[in-house]
Amino acid sequence: MAEAPFYLEINALSERFYVRRLHENDVDMIYDLSCENKLFYQYHPPFVTKESILEDMSTLPPGKSCEDKYYIGFFEDAFLVAVMDLILDYPTERIAFIGLFMTNILYQHKGIGSEIIGDVVRHLKSIGYREIRLGVDRGNPQSYSFWSKNGFSVTGGKEYILMGRTL
């Protein structure tokens, strides 16, 4: 018997920030946020371009459709605080995959990223998701530390460190 479909209420992904899908007309602000995260691109080359952002906005894993992908921004007023690429039911049902999560450098080291992840975890759990997975670039101490601190543990991986969190 097929499982009931899930409804992701985008605004429920954060108690503090306004959340919405990001579109082509948002590329400049995404680019500005991304460019300041130089450490990320030391471990995840090449450095970001507006073209690579547009590509990321539409890239899907095998077997997924655009309805499963949420390339979203977390905003304080009109200011972009964080970007997330969230894929639902990947690699299997009731598992969500975070392809990218990046906070504006002005909001880093203040608990804001952890607050956002906590809210995302709570909402996904409330609508029936069992796990969240992601990949961390090998050798990136900042990313690995952040995800470990937020309850994710290593599940494997060769090119990337695969991490997951049971909800």
Instruction: Quote the DSSP letter at residue 45.
Output: P
SS3 state of residue 155: strand
In the predicted model, residues of the chain with pLDDT beneath 70 are 1-6
Main-chain dihedrals φ then ψ at residue 109, nearest 5 degrees: 65, 30
The domain ranges of the chain are: 10-166
Whether pTM > 0.85 for this model: the answer is yes
pLDDT of residue 83: 98
The pLDDT of residue 5 is: 53
* CA 28 to each of CA 25, 45, 107, 133, 157: distance values in angstroms, whole numbers, following the listed order: 7, 20, 19, 28, 33
Q: What pLDDT, on a 0 to 100 scale, did the predictor assign at position 4?
A: 47
Place of tokens 């919405």: 20
Q: Residues 46, 51, 54, 55: is their CA dihedral positive or negative?
A: negative
Largest distance between two CA atoms of the chain: 47
Query: Distance of alpha carbon 18 from its chain centroid, rounded?
Result: 15
Buried b (16+ CB within 10 A) or exposed e, 90-105: beeeebbbbbebbbbe
Q: Does CATH place domain 10-166 in 3.40.630.30? A: yes
